[in-house]
A and B are shown apart, each in its own frame.
Chain A
């Protein structure tokens, strides 16, 4: 187990270096960040001086090596547009995005389970039909469009939910201010509902269909038939035998799900003016704020890799058939 984790961690380092290299090359390939740091009417000499001062006149490999050197020391550099340590800015925006991603993951999984189960055990009925139809629609609506429509309907017309913004929960919690954190919690959740649904619906729909089909498959298996023939109640069969195994494909996608949900974050954070990492990085990419993009992408990749490691370990525990020896790769 220990060596497996070690190996995975080493692989992660390779992946993270790859991530920084790709980002670095891409950002340097097009556009010159110097122009962000001179005023609208700066002279040519000023522009040159600024370029030198920022080090953008040096050869690329030199810039990258010195960047990696700093990285190893834990220094991600200064954000070019904020003039603050890049990692600080990214870490400041991360909790809000984590709240949003986790909340939408919760919607995508917790709501999907009863829907999928209902749909499977009532196969062919109106229940099944409407849930499947809902799932189909959920997979075909662009998230920004759904976001704006929900703002207009639930935010403006019905006034049920706040239209935009964010109330922090994780940040005060990390600061040790537990009182504030929990006092904020109801409003945190309230602000998460619309953007969470906008991000989570696609996954919710997909998971519902996934759970439905995997449960249908399990219900046909021999051991379920055996359990039934032993006269166990349908509920017992479902909970003790079928659901347990229907879980596996769901756990499988949780890790990847997170990466997928983070993808929705860029767009949905913009729509709901939510102060998260997606919007921050989108602006940073547009402005060629290389240190900020690097810090953000590295952090997200790190979170993603860690999460997948955890999911793999859980998977190994859940699925006795899968041996650790085979889990390397």
Chain B
């Protein structure tokens, strides 16, 4: 007969180990821990593109200037900027005595190197900087004028170039020339307040403070993909800030007495796009939405405030266009939820209900797992559209390799669900997606001349006051006959421990320089 004593002994030993190990895992006051949902893949400045990855990188690399979330300019590595008469030469003057993390002095030559290296096609970088910033500003090159002055040349006057240039991560020439691209991807030598102390893929990134600003000696970014696990870690006190709190868990966190959820109105514009292309016309419902009356009818069919309140735990005002408030058109009222009006407009447009109650079938495509509660939001929209007589064929797709290629080729179905990043610092920035009928970000193939013919005028304006009337006229057209079924500006949810004093920004950026203990 075997007695189960051995298992009992083992259990006891385990318990002892538990107690001792828990005792030594206490956190100190000079460390702040952040729980992120998405993994970090690289610290190569030219390769960084995802938001979480960029948030960490922002602490490692300085930039010439930075922007607050409402568009205020804040000097960083540079203290002054002079823009040439024709708007194509940006001359920045650096602060004195700057160094990179390996001790190398940081001069104008290094800044010029940063820009040119990031742009260099031989490096095949595909991050946000070469892929978006440089193409948007028409980057022509950078050169050092002297030790402290660097000039960035762009193709043409551009009202948003200043903001875009703040997204470039400055690094030093000698240290990066000494490393292979492989080495640089995991050993960033930055110019920001923190340096990379350790990185365990899939687990955590640890940063150590090297200079001001910053109240914490160490920042630990932990990768916690599962939302419930992130919340549990926050409630257990092992993590100070978590991103992307699931709306369903807000009440639990707020009721715990240990942490609070900060809900910040974000700038990401969520909408259902109408794809008006010839290709989409061949798909179910593609011809119906060509008629602006049908598009307008569908605006009345969806109850956006209820979606916000119920699925996002957030009171929202429905969007009226692509521009974030307060830069939006002040005279426009959001479309109300009014199914009878929707039905009447659809009848008038000739799409009456058939015997089965259906007006027409239409395909709706969406990626999954990208936005807050996206699957539920999409399902709710489908229900609303079906309520007014549409027969919606929903295709939910894997985001990165199935939906994204469709977006890039602008070949989604007649309806598609999307959220695109916006900003508060310029209405034009938010409108740039549709700067040109054939632009890669005009996913809808909308070609209304009342919108697109105004762009040359708009970019030539020199002051916001001058631009405003043009913008408002364009936004009116977008509201009336535009290619978006307007939804909301996606709120962001941060769970913040009660021991931490930190206010979340509106632009999805997590900056911890001002964070402190209460």
A: residues with CB less than 8 A from B are 30-44, 46-47, 49-50, 53, 81-85, 89, 92-93, 111, 114, 117-118, 121, 148, 151-152, 155-156, 159-166, 186-187, 189-190, 193, 234-235, 238-239, 270-276, 279-280, 283, 286-288
CA A163 – CA B235 in complex, angstroms? 11
Ranked nearest first, the 5 interchain pairs of A and B with the lowest CB-CB distance are: A39-B131, A275-B202, A31-B401, A275-B203, A273-B224
Contacts A/B (CB < 8 Å), 21 sampled = A30-B401, A32-B401, A35-B405, A36-B400, A43-B135, A82-B42, A83-B182, A111-B7, A151-B232, A155-B232, A155-B236, A156-B235, A165-B222, A190-B22, A235-B2, A238-B1, A238-B2, A273-B225, A275-B202, A288-B400, A288-B401
Question: Who on chain B is nearest to A30 by CB?
Answer: B402
Which residues of chain B from 244 to 291 have any CB-CB distance to chain A below 8 Å in the complex? Answer: none
In the bound complex, how far is the Cα of B24 from the Cα of A162, in angstroms? 12
What CA separation (Å) do A161 and B510 show in the bound complex? 29
Query: Are A114 and B229 in contact (CB-based, < 8 A)?
Result: no
In the complex, what residues of B have CB within 8 A of residue A159's CB?
A: 22, 236
Contacting pair A271 B229 (CB below 8 A)? yes
Known: A43-B440, A273-B226. A189 touches B17 (CB 8 A): yes
In the complex, which residues of chain A have a beta carbon less than 8 angstroms from the beta carbon of B49? 39-40
Known: A35-B401, A187-B25. 14 other contacts (CB 8 A): A39-B127, A82-B201, A114-B6, A148-B228, A155-B232, A163-B232, A164-B232, A165-B204, A189-B14, A235-B1, A273-B202, A280-B201, A283-B39, A287-B400
Q: Please classify how large the interface on chain B is, using the bins under 10, 10 to 19, 20 to 34, 35 or more.
A: 35 or more
A269: nearest chain-B partner, CB-CB: B202
Inter-subunit contact B233/A33 (CB<8 Å): no
Whether A82 contacts B17 in the complex (CB less than 8 A), given A35-B401, A273-B229, comes out as no
Residue of A at shortest CB range from B124? A53
**For the complex, is B21 an interface residue (Cβ under 8 Å from A)?**
yes
A42 to B132, CA, bound (A): 6
Query: Is B476 engaged at the interface, CB distance under 8 Å to the other chain?
Result: no
Residues of B within 8 A of A49 (CB): 121
User: What residues on A are CB-neighbors of B42 within 8 Å?
Assistant: 81-83
Q: Does B441 contact A (CB under 8 A)?
A: yes
Say yes or no: B185 contacts A84, CB within 8 Å: yes
Task: List B contacts of A160 (CB < 8 A).
Answer: 18
List chain A residues, Cβ under 8 A from B21: 186-187, 190
Given the complex, which residues of A lie within 8 Å of B225, measured CB to CB? 270, 273, 279
Nearest to B400 among chain A residues (CB) is: A287
For residue A156, which residues in chain B have a CB less than 8 angstroms away from its CB? 232, 235-236
- Cross-chain contact B233 with A190 (CB below 8 angstroms): no
CB distance from A148 to the nearest CB of B (A): 5
Q: Which residue of B lies closest to A155 (CB)?
A: B232
Q: Are A164 and B124 in contact (CB under 8 A)?
A: no
Residues of B contacting A190 in the complex (Cβ-Cβ under 8 angstroms): 17-18, 21-22
Residues of A within 8 A of B400 (CB): 35-36, 286-288
Interface presence of B463 (CB below 8 A): no
Taking a contact as CB atoms closer than 8 A, the residue among A32, A151, A186, A275 that contacts B20 in the complex is A186
Closest B residue to A171 by beta carbon equals: B200
Asked if B47 contacts A35 (CB within 8 A), the reply is no
Q: Which of B209-223 contact A (CB under 8 A)?
A: 222-223
Report chain A residues within 8 Å CB of B132.
Answer: 39-42
B238 within 8 A of A: yes
**In the complex the two chains form, what is the Cα distance from A117 to B4 in whole Å?**
11
Indicate if the CB atoms of B202 and A93 lie closer than 8 Å. Answer: yes
CB distance from B251 to the nearest CB of A (A): 15
Cross-chain contact A41 with B126 (CB below 8 angstroms)? no
Nearest A residue to B204 via CB reads A165
Q: Do B7 and A114 touch across chains, with their CB atoms under 8 A apart?
A: yes
Residue in contact with A46 in the complex, picked from B135, B136, B182, CB distance below 8 Å? B135
Shortest CB–CB separation between residue B184 and chain A, in angstroms? 9
Contact with A along B378-406 (1 / 0, CB 8 A): 00000000000000000000111110110
CA distance A320 to B181 in the complex (A): 57
A275/B224 contact (C-beta < 8 A), A43-B135, A155-B236, A163-B236 known: no
With both chains docked as a complex, state the minimum distance between the C-beta of B474 and any C-beta of chain A, in angstroms: 20
A153 to chain B, nearest CB (A): 10
Q: Are A161 and B18 in contact (CB under 8 A)?
A: yes
Nearest Cβ on chain A to B96's Cβ, whole angstroms = 34
Residue B44 CB within 8 A of the other chain: yes
- A83-B181 contact in complex given A42-B135, A114-B7, A165-B203, C-beta closer than 8 Å: yes
B128 within 8 A of A: yes
User: A235–B22 Cα gap in the complex (Å)?
Assistant: 41
Do B4 and A114 touch across chains, with their CB atoms under 8 A apart? yes
B408 interface residue (CB < 8 Å to A) = yes
**Given A41-B136, A186-B20, A287-B401 contact (CB < 8 Å):** yes
B232 touches A39 (CB 8 A): no
Contacts A38-B126, A187-B25; A164 near B136 (Cβ below 8 A): no
Tell me, yes or no, whether B427 is within 8 Å of chain A by CB: no
Q: Closest Cβ of chain B: how far from A36's Cβ, in Å?
A: 6
Known: A43-B440, A53-B124. A163 touches B131 (CB 8 A): no
Inter-chain contact A81/B201, CB cutoff 8 Å: no
- Nearest to B369 among chain A residues (CB) is A286
Contact assessment for A271 and B235 in the assembled complex, using a CB-CB cutoff below 8 Å: no
Residue in A closest to B410 when the chains form the complex, CB atoms: A44
Separation in Å of the A199 CB from the closest CB of chain B? 15
Q: Are A39 and B228 closer than 8 Å at their CB atoms?
A: no
Q: B residues 1-39 with Cβ under 8 Å of A?
A: 1-2, 4, 6-7, 14, 17-18, 20-22, 25, 39
Q: Are B229 and A163 in contact (CB under 8 A)?
A: yes
B18, B44, B203, B401: which contacts A36 (Cβ < 8 A)?
B401
- Contact A276 B135, beta carbon cutoff 8 Å: no
Contact of A270 among B18, B44, B226 (CB under 8 A): B226
Distance of A324 Cα from B205 Cα, bound (Å):
51
> Does residue B339 face the partner (Cβ distance < 8 Å to A)?
no
- For the complex, give the distance between the alpha carbons of A182 and B399 in Å: 42
Interchain nearest-CB distance for B406 vs A (Å) = 10
Bound-complex Cα distance A81 to B49 (A): 11
| Chain A, residue nearest B406 (CB) | A35
Complex CA–CA separation, A122 to B405 (angstroms): 62
Residues of B within 8 A of A83 (CB): 42, 44, 47, 181-182, 185
User: Looking at the complex, which one of A42, A193, A275 makes contact with B200 (CB distance below 8 Å)?
Assistant: A275
How far apart sit A32 and B404, CA to CA, in the bound complex (Å)? 9
Are the CB atoms of A82 and B185 closer together than 8 Å?
A: yes
Check if B4 sits within 8 Å of A118, measured CB to CB: yes
Residue of chain B at shortest CB distance from A243: B2
- B186: Cβ under 8 A from any A Cβ: yes
Q: In the bound complex, do residue B405 and residue A50 qualify as a contact, i.e. CB atoms below 8 Å apart?
A: no
- From A84, A114, A189, A287, contact of B182 by CB (8 A): A84
Does B130 have its Cβ within 8 Å of any Cβ on chain A?
Answer: yes
Q: Do B126 and A39 touch across chains, with their CB atoms under 8 A apart?
A: yes
* Residue pair A93, B1 in contact (C-beta under 8 Å): no
CB-defined contacts of B127 to chain A, threshold 8 Å: 39
User: Would B440 and A44 count as touching, CB distance under 8 A?
Assistant: yes
Which chain A residue lies CB-closest to B131? A39
**Contact of B140 with A by CB under 8 A:** no
Contact A35 B408 (CB under 8 A): yes
